Amino acid sequence: MTELVDPFARRIQYLRVSVTDRCDFRCVYCMSETMQFLPKKELLTLEELDRLCSAFVRLGVRKLRITGGEPLVRRGIMSFFEGMTRHIDAGALDEITVTTNGSQLERFAPQLYAAGVRRINVSLDTLDEEKFARVTRWGRLPQVLRGLDAALAAGLKVKLNTVALKGFNEDEVEALLAFCAERGMDITFIEVMPMGDIGNEDRIGQYWSLRDLRARIAESLTLTDLRESTGGPARYARAEETGQKIGFITPLSHNFCEGCNRVRVTCTGQIYTCLGQEGSADLRAPLRGSESDAALEEAIHGAIALKPKGHDFDYSRQDVSGRVSRHMSHTGG
């Protein structure tokens, strides 16, 4: 079967799959507090998720990231990870990774490692318990910190994902860097993206350019740019004083689309070939319409043939341009 190459000669080797739109937090930049979640019948079953991911692996995908919502709140999700291990054992898949809020890691970290997961990303925007409760609305920081300890003890390599929020965590950059350095963890900072209706929250007020954040870090640490990539959108630098790797994901201040090798599939089987565009295609119908995967693989190729050059996120005129209507929790973080 022909590998997946988009109209701009980018080979698609990285698939991000949301296994649920549900989450046990309600982060202010991701969800409204009163979310309406999807009925169960619309979600792909775990068996369907296995078939779909396996089809992508046959078509050349080498990296699989499982996201949500919060993926570890999906009932029975460990059976899916255990099934996917066969592709790593066969050499068809390089790695399976997870993006999580950390709330369930105390319970699941050893099982994830046993299922072949070696790296995870944990979303954490503050080390202040009161601020954490405010930004997540429902979250408890001690639970997440215990999860981080459990993940490290299980042998997982942990990277923090921190959304840069103006007026919220500007004063915590140094503390977050030190927290990670002490534990041998890397960290990636992310600019807030205009996705979904989040109620009364102010997108412009939240936005903090990572150009400014990086300049702030450079006042105390020597940053050396790295050429390496983990297949995602981050650009990395090494802090010479600590040896830690610091990533910067800059969809607003520095578009990263030219090297995009990834697509996202939602928990309902919609494929989005660009995070910042509304265009999608349905993979659930061909998945459920036949026991053969021929129609599914044809639909995947058709979607990749329409992958756009890039997104249109823009805050430069103090207005939110390029906004997309769906929430990040639906697309997959």
322 annotated to bind ligand: no
229 annotated to bind ligand: no
The chain-wide mean pLDDT, for the chain, equals: 88
289 annotated to bind ligand: no
Q: Would residue 87 be called left, alpha or beta, if left means φ above 0 and alpha means ψ between -120 and 50 degrees?
A: alpha
- State how far Cα 99 lies from the chain centre: 5
Amino acid residing at 154: A
Residue with tokens 């169960």: 40
Q: What is the pLDDT of residue 309?
A: 83
pLDDT class of 321 with cuts at 50, 70, 90: very low
Given a contact cutoff of 8 angstroms between Cβ atoms, the answer to whether 320 and 260 are in contact is no
- Give me the domains of the chain, ranges plus CATH numbers: 14-331 (3.20.20.70)
- Is the pLDDT at 180 greater than 50? The verdict is yes
pLDDT class of 204 with cuts at 50, 70, 90: low
- Is the pLDDT at 140 greater than 60? The verdict is yes
65 annotated to bind ligand: yes
23 annotated to bind ligand: yes
35 annotated to bind ligand: no
- Is the pLDDT at 166 greater than 80? The verdict is yes
Among candidate residues 310, 254, 316, the one with its CA nearest the CA of residue 279:
310
69 annotated to bind ligand: yes
67 annotated to bind ligand: no
30 annotated to bind ligand: yes
Query: If you average pLDDT over residues 2-21, what whole number do you get?
Result: 94
Is pLDDT larger for residue 150 or for residue 327? Answer: 150
C-alpha span between 143 and 149 (Å, rounded): 10
Q: What is the pLDDT of residue 30?
A: 79
pLDDT class of 329 with cuts at 50, 70, 90: low
Residue 199 has a CB neighbour count (10 Å cut-off) of 11
Query: If you average pLDDT over residues 201-219, what whole number do you get?
Result: 82
Query: If you average pLDDT over residues 317-330, what whole number do you get?
Result: 49
**Per-residue CA distances from 227 to 62, 174, 217, 252, 311 (Å):** 20, 24, 19, 21, 23
Helix, coil or strand: residue 201: coil
Residues 6+ apart with CB under 8 A from 18: 67, 68, 69, 71, 264, 265, 266, 267, 329, 330, 331, 332, 333
- Is the pLDDT at 200 greater than 90? The verdict is no
Query: If you average pLDDT over residues 69-93, what whole number do you get?
Result: 97
184 annotated to bind ligand: no
**Per-residue CA distances from 328 to 174, 175, 221, 238 (Å):** 27, 27, 32, 29
Among candidate residues 156, 157, 189, the one with its CA nearest the CA of residue 173:
189
C-alpha span between 187 and 171 (Å, rounded): 16
Q: What is the pLDDT of residue 1?
A: 62
14 annotated to bind ligand: no
Query: If you average pLDDT over residues 156-166, what whole number do you get?
Result: 95
274 annotated to bind ligand: yes
58 annotated to bind ligand: no
Among candidate residues 227, 213, 139, the one with its CA nearest the CA of residue 177:
213
Rounded to the nearest 5°, which phi and psi values hold at 142? -55, -35
Q: What is the pLDDT of residue 320?
A: 46
pLDDT class of 2 with cuts at 50, 70, 90: confident
227 annotated to bind ligand: no
Residue with tokens 């980018």: 10
162 annotated to bind ligand: no
pLDDT class of 316 with cuts at 50, 70, 90: very low
**The model's pTM:** 0.87
pLDDT class of 240 with cuts at 50, 70, 90: very high
pLDDT class of 315 with cuts at 50, 70, 90: very low
Percent of the chain with pLDDT over 90: 72
Among candidate residues 235, 192, 193, 231, the one with its CA nearest the CA of residue 214:
235
Q: From start to end of the chain, where are the E strands?
A: 14-18, 63-67, 95-100, 119-123, 157-164, 186-191, 223-226, 235-239, 245-249, 262-265, 270-272, 281-282
Residues 82-139 pLDDT 10s: 999 999 999 999 999 999 999 999 999 999 999 999 999 999 999 999 999 999 998 9
Q: What is the pLDDT of residue 277?
A: 73
290 CB burial (10 A radius; 0-12, 13-18, 19+): exposed
